[in-house]
Amino acid sequence: MNLLLLSNSSSDAGYLVHALPAIRELIAALPPGAPAVFVPFAGVTRNWDDYTALVVSALADTGLNIQGLHRAEDPVAALEGAAVIIVGGGNTFNLLGQLRRQGLLGVVARRVRQGAAYLGWSAGSNLSCPTICTTNDMPITDPQGFDALGLLPFQINPHYTNAHPPGHRGETRAQRLAEFCTLNPAMPVLGLPEGSGLRVSGGEMTLIGPHEAPLFLGQQEPRVFRPGPVEVQA
């Protein structure tokens, strides 16, 4: 498979600017004007047309011909013809619920396994996992099950930080992930800090970006990956 899974889309540099080198590498083998589909369903307070326009503008220099999936007359046909499937961030529950209700979840998974490139950030990265159970989002809608694309054999936690502001009495992110790992001791969780991403090419995985990333598994002390090759084993 050919995947690029980002923690975040926005940065001080601009929308997706920090990820453009990795995005260009993801699509390097594609011809100019290659068809791409953008899935905006994680957008809730953001209008899907506006969201699509934002992504089209941000990726204009890549040469991709991007269509919003919500505007496709035949969404299945649009996915079947796409060389790249792009899944944006927002609310993971709404994203998964929309894909499931429209019968598109399995189509996306099949197309990526057949060779379509997959670019996701935040909720789009969560969607690539076995489930969405390590998202940071509120369950604002019932997605009729947490099972997701299952492109990876482990979970991702985007926007990972273990910051604990003075006076804050809630759990840290590491504590929340420890809860997941206690009830799912055989399922690893990779925390992706801001500015980081996971590149999957064939059977190889690489942590990209400037930051280290912790891997949580059961009751073990988190293993920390530096940028470079990543090997995750349960």
Clarify whether 137 is annotated catalytic: yes
Burial class (CB in 10 A: 0-12, 13-18, 19+), 67: middle
Nearest alpha-carbon partner for 123 in 141, 107, 111: 141
Which entry of 122, 125, 128, 196 is annotated as an active-site residue?
A: 122
Pairing of strands 197-201, 2-6: antiparallel
3-state class of 88 per DSSP? Answer: coil
For helices 92-101 and 105-114, angle between their N-to-C axes, nearest 10 degrees: 90
User: Which residues is 119 bridged to in the sheet?
Assistant: 4, 86
Clarify whether 147 is annotated catalytic: no
Clarify whether 122 is annotated catalytic: yes
Catalytic site residues? 122, 137, 159
